[in-house]
Structure 1
Amino acid sequence: MKRSIPFLFATLLAACAGAPPTAPQHSFDVHALAERPSASTRTLADPQGKAVLVTTQPTLTQRDVQQAELASVADGKPAVRVQFTPDASQRLARLTREEQGKALAVVIDGQLRLLPRVERPVTDGRVTLQGFASQAEAETLVRQLNELRQVPVQPEQKSGGQP
């Protein structure tokens, strides 16, 4: 046993040294909500921990963001204004027409962060996201969205089990 300890230690060190650290991958997705579970839905927890059923495939992703900037709403709270690309603007208009009166799921880094209610169809490709806990949180999202425009998105890995 004593002879195998140095070998195990060397193997462990080699494994750790072989994989260089990677920068964290960020994601931004907009999903429609779903009424019933199916193969094309998944359950996420909202910021309060309540289960929310969303479509598996997002309608919009970080690839669709043309620009993001800080904004503020009437109550002075931080907000993020997002301008989508022309193609994404058409999908956004279709989505907001279909989901008017309902909420959409804004998923950031795999977590359901915002559930904005669609008051009217969005036809100009611009949305203002509200409900951030702090100015720093809004600033982080703006930075990430503007950086993500330049990052190639890896295709989602399909697995045989439940997500």
Structure 2
Amino acid sequence: MKSPIERLSELATERALTVAVAESLTCGLLASEIGKGENASDWFSGAVVAYQTAVKVQVLGLPDGLDPCSAECASRLARGVRSLLKADIAVATTGVGGPDSEDGHPPGTVFVGWADATGAGAELFHFDGEPDDVLRATVDRALVLLVRVAEKDD
């Protein structure tokens, strides 16, 4: 069975898809994994690491005052990076890695957003463990989501 990055590489190549990511929570870890994909230079448009809210607002078009740990934030970040980098599909990561709660959200609360030509959405996850565990689980789920979006019928 192929890993998610192997499958993403295959789909992107076969379907001539370009991929982009916006990262808050994962702070570049997702882009690093995607860059390991076969022929990534042909299909990986790039990433925006937007850790501070002001960067999310100024660069990715997030409305000021939106909860950074929300489905709406995740889907808007994905739409923003897809538009900015002119990619076919995109995902975004946001949430609370821990070890402490933030703005009323417990550690391990994660949203992974997606965007393609048909729309956008987000999935909520609750991961256990130390911050490194939460980040690794988020990257894994984001890769799986990218594969699902790439597999969608045209």
Q: Which of the five TM-score ranges fits, normalised by the shorter chain?
A: under 0.3
Name whichever structure is richer in helix by fraction. 2
Q: What is the TM-score with the length of structure 1 in the denominator?
A: 0.26
Name whichever structure is richer in strand by fraction. 1
Q: What is the TM-score with the length of structure 2 in the denominator?
A: 0.27
